[in-house]
Amino acid sequence: MSSSKVALVTGGNKGIGFAIVRAMCKDFAGDVYLTARDVGRGTAAVDSLRKEGLAPLFHRLDITDPDSVRSARDFFTEKYGGLDVLVNNAGIAFKMADTTPFGIQAEVTLKTNFFATRDMCNVFLPIIKPGGRMVNVSSVMGSVALSRCSPELQARFRSDDITEEELDGLMERFVRDAQEGVHAERGWPSTAYGVSKTGLTTLTRILARNLTKERPGDDILCNACCPGWVRTDMAGPNATKSPDEGAVTPVYLALLSPGAKEPHGQFVSEKKVQPW
């Protein structure tokens, strides 16, 4: 078993994920795994970073496939005895001009951005080592979507006693309401991406609360962040930040110094804790 520290980044073959891997290779004292669902694209991304003199490793991981997630967990458990840093970056978004029916957009977007990321967290959290860091790449769009929810929904997403089960139920309800075309009258905003990130930030707060309760001495810090508006396939060419600039806050949270107590369970943007 390797005694190296180890970090895993999901959705690492392009965009912000790729830039996070690049920065981690420079600043993290340990092995850095670029993961992606497509082996060809993932290994090509690793090769291009190796040409820069960096040394990332590749592991195939499709976060929407439970077998792939479990198999990755087993790999890191057997090879490293767990994981020191997990950056959940993989995500999807429909383009504004996409004419796919909103109910389908809601189902597809939440499947990856919320439910699959939740499964990653739940499968990997038990193997996160003491002093470990978990970072969920969320979005300010989740905060915007939250502000456009009904007061009742806002109160639940912001509450300090919401459970993962209740949150799952709310996310399932959004998909159902969207499919039935009644989401607006039931207090939801018309953004599947935004709601998926409202869910992810809320999930992060719940997981952090559970860690504090269940593993109080382990000093694991778990946070959500917004990378900003970044020039990627997702956001398009007019965005204001380069991918490397977008990686700054996620990497800051991934590398919070040993013994740090905060931030924990926070939504962070430009390296600053934001109100939720």
Which positions are annotated as active-site residues?
193
| Radius of gyration over every alpha carbon of the chain, rounded to an integer in angstroms | 18
Q: Quote the crossing angle between the two packed helices 15-27 and 39-51, to the nearest 10°.
A: 40
